[in-house]
Amino acid sequence: MHPFKISKIFTIVLLIWAILFVALAVTVQFFVLRGRLQQEFEDYKSITLGLTEKVFLDVQDPNQLKNLLSFLQTVKTPRWFIGVRVISGSSDQDDVNFLRLGDEWKQHAEVPSGLQKEALVLRREVSHPLWSAIELFFANDELTNRATSALVSTLSYLVLFAGASALVGYYVLKRNVVRSLKSLKTDMTRFGNDVRYRLPRYPVQEFEEVAQEFNAMADKLYKSQEDVQFLTNLSQEVFNFIDQPLLITEGNILITYNLAAETFFGLSRVDCSRPVDHFNQTIDKLLRKAASEHVHRSSVIERRVKLKATSNRLYDIHLTKVKGKSNFFAVQIIDVTEMDRAEKVQKVQSQAEMLALVAGGVVHDLNNILSGLTGTTSILKYLIESNSVIESSALKDKIALLEACSSRAVHLSQSLLHLSTRRDIEYKAFDLNQAILNALTIAQSNAGTGVVFQQEGPPSPVYVMGDIARTEQIILNLLINSIHALGVMAGKEAAEGLIRLKVQRLSPQGILPAMFPELKKESYVRLRVTDNGVGIPNEIQKLIFEPFFTTKSRETGSGLGLSLVLSGMILQKGWLNLFSKPGLGTCFDLYFVPQDAVAPPSRKPLKLMFCNQTIPITEDLLAAYQEENIELDLYEDLPDSVSWDGYDGLLIDSSFLLEEPSPFVSGYLSERKAIVVCQCPEIMKIPGVSAAHVISFPFLWEDLVQVF
């Protein structure tokens, strides 16, 4: 609804008032005119009675016609009564005509023909010896003329009065309203240029109230503006205080920057609103890629980038999405040249520490191998020198022992060679099982007899993309950490426990990207490395991948191992996930890109009841399961019984089963209608439930098709 202007309201009110006044005036004029005509009608009645008396009742008077003329001249007659005609009763006598000319009555020989046509004639037959009838002549248009004249005069008065009223109203409106409105508009315009200006007093009460409310609001606005200006200046000072170059962009369009960025790139204000490639193509490409992919992650990091062609310094570029602003990014440039150099030095030191760490075990193995070689050689030499007859079977056994010892020595030396080789990463296909075997060879030499290594997965080669030497270092780092978790970290002189390595092929599905945004909806090969050691406390799980962070002693580790593990997985276009429970153990999931896509298992739509209490289920993860035709109905409690109508199975959070399971759960588990979900079955033991009835979270198609 649009507001009315005061001038329009005034015009409408004036028009309504004029209509009402005209109606009132016409009504008054009608009643006045009616009264006059009624009075004239009464006069006409008197005339009629007088005529009757003078003409028809006084038969004997010879001067009756003169008396009639005298009567007409003396009596007051209406102006619209203009003539009398007395019609003779015999042919010997003429008609008598009296006509009024102006205010005087005169007798005429005959009535003009024009008057007879235009006048209204009233004829009345009478019984009289001399006269037969009488006719009265009235002006036919007199009533119309009178009404028209009265209406015209009334309208004239009304027009004059309305004009005068409009002039007075316009003057009053202009003086008290329009002038105040113009003044209010001017004052508000001035306030737009100077927020310290306040509206003056106004003669109109309503405007004065508006001005007071406006001034109160302006005081609050001015105070808020001062606060905002203070915060803006403070944020700008903080923005410029950051000694690292910082840019704010919309897509790849530069919005603003700090002083460090101005110095670093040589920017000026003319660069704002320009594409970033105007001063740096590397950052522009990264911004375009992030915008085109519509990344849902809050930040994207590009590591070890050269931003200046003439410089050898390295930078990390951090792209962070601005909350509440679509396609806005904060770009932070961090100089990591010295950090990169320190990491390279620490990497060499870490490799040296690892070599030193495993050297004792390797030397012990080599001593055993050499003992076998020298002992067997001595026996053969003795037999030859004594000229004894050597049986072929005994000779074959000794030669087989020599070959086994030699093969073991060659394999161990090759593993050490892979570990100690320094070269750039080669992204090509290799057998993950072979990399695991090479790492296990060295780890077993250092673990002792109390550690049991268990390898699970496809027996045939599993080809993944990456660098075999880097992967062996990653796996060996995790195995060494597991050995420490089973030994020195647990306060034991010799490590004791179980280390499991499980390889599993995973088909493309949207569940993994919903859990780990770094992964895509494509095939992966997952290597799960678990141990039943001391575990990692929750408060430091987010810190263990930072360079140089360690909970071990200086003699045991440098704190760079897990940092190299994470960076190595990223360089191989994979990812790493950690799950650990203090007192139960630790699980590392390594995701590798396979050489060939993994064929998905046979699937069918599933509707599952999920009784969940502690496992984190997000809306994105629920949507991902829905896209995979897996419908989950979530329940917070464990029911006493289950109606299987419409359900393919039951999923139970392991937290419900920390004590002895209820009988109905045990029955369903045995019938394979229910399955227990925990975040890592390899390290979590559930009372009364066998490993065959447990799957890990997030549960994937490869897990579900084995059960339902």
Render pLDDT for 440-456 as a digit per residue (tens, 0 to 9).
877 777 777 888 999 99
Residue matched to tokens 């994937």:
700
pLDDT tier, 9 (very low <50, low <70, confident <90, very high otherwise): low
On average, the pLDDT of the chain sits at 77
Query: Which of the residue ranges 279-293, 314-328, 553-567 would you say has the lowest mean pLDDT?
Result: 553-567
pLDDT at residue 261 in the model = 86
pLDDT at residue 359 in the model = 53
Helix/strand/coil for 136: strand
Among 696, 608, 610, smallest CA distance to 649 is for 608
pLDDT: which is higher, 612 or 121? 612
Task: Check pLDDT > 90 for residue 647.
Answer: no
Q: Which two tokens stand for residue 633?
A: 């109905």
Residue matched to tokens 């027009």:
159
Which H/E stretch holds residue 459? none
Task: Check pLDDT > 90 for residue 642.
Answer: no
Helix/strand/coil for 378: helix
pLDDT digits (tens, 9 = 90+) for 48-63: 666 666 666 555 555 5
pLDDT at residue 60 in the model = 53
CA dihedral 393, 394, 395, 399 (to 10 degrees): 100
pLDDT: which is higher, 431 or 217? 431
Q: What's the distance, CA 614 to chain centroid?
A: 29
pLDDT at residue 502 in the model = 94
Average pLDDT of the residues in 653-677:
72
pLDDT at residue 671 in the model = 62
Helix/strand/coil for 232: helix
pLDDT tier, 668 (very low <50, low <70, confident <90, very high otherwise): low
pLDDT: which is higher, 175 or 365? 175
Residue type, 370: L
Rounded Cα distance between 605 and 564, Å, is: 41
Q: What's the distance, CA 7 to chain centroid?
A: 45
pLDDT at residue 51 in the model = 67
Average pLDDT of the residues in 256-284:
86
pLDDT digits (tens, 9 = 90+) for 91-128: 777 788 888 887 788 888 888 877 777 777 777 777 77
Rounded Cα distance between 72 and 685, Å, is: 139
pLDDT at residue 390 in the model = 62
Q: Which two tokens stand for residue 699?
A: 């549960």
pLDDT digits (tens, 9 = 90+) for 546-597: 765 566 554 444 445 677 788 888 888 899 999 998 888 999 999 999 999 8
Among 256, 383, 414, smallest CA distance to 322 is for 256
pLDDT at residue 297 in the model = 60
pLDDT at residue 674 in the model = 81
pLDDT digits (tens, 9 = 90+) for 388-441: 666 666 666 666 666 656 665 665 565 555 555 545 567 899 999 999 988 887
Percentage of residues of the chain with pLDDT beyond 70: 71
pLDDT digits (tens, 9 = 90+) for 125-174: 777 777 788 888 877 666 567 667 766 777 777 777 777 777 777 777 77
Residue 224: φ, ψ to 5°:
-65, -40
Angle of CA points 516, 521, 524, to nearest 5°: 80
Whether 389 contacts 418, CB under 8 Å: no
| Residue 395 neighbours by CB under 8 Å, 6+ apart | 380
Average pLDDT of the residues in 355-383:
58
Task: Check pLDDT > 60 for residue 356.
Answer: no
**Residues facing 455 on adjacent strands:** 501
pLDDT at residue 59 in the model = 53
pLDDT at residue 593 in the model = 94
Task: Check pLDDT > 50 for residue 2.
Answer: no
pLDDT digits (tens, 9 = 90+) for 447-490: 778 889 999 999 899 999 998 888 888 898 898 889 888 887 77
Helix/strand/coil for 396: helix
Where do the DSSP E strands lie in 427-496?
428-431, 451-456, 463-466
Q: Which two tokens stand for residue 419?
A: 């570990």
Task: Check pLDDT > 90 for residue 88.
Answer: no
Rounded Cα distance between 271 and 255, Å, is: 9
The highest-confidence range among 186-195, 245-254, 296-305, 369-378, by mean pLDDT, is 245-254
Among 279, 233, 237, smallest CA distance to 258 is for 237
Average pLDDT of the residues in 289-300:
70
Query: Which of the residue ranges 81-90, 191-200, 506-515 would you say has the lowest mean pLDDT?
Result: 191-200
Sheet holding 674-678, edge to edge: 630-635, 606-611, 649-653, 674-678, 694-696
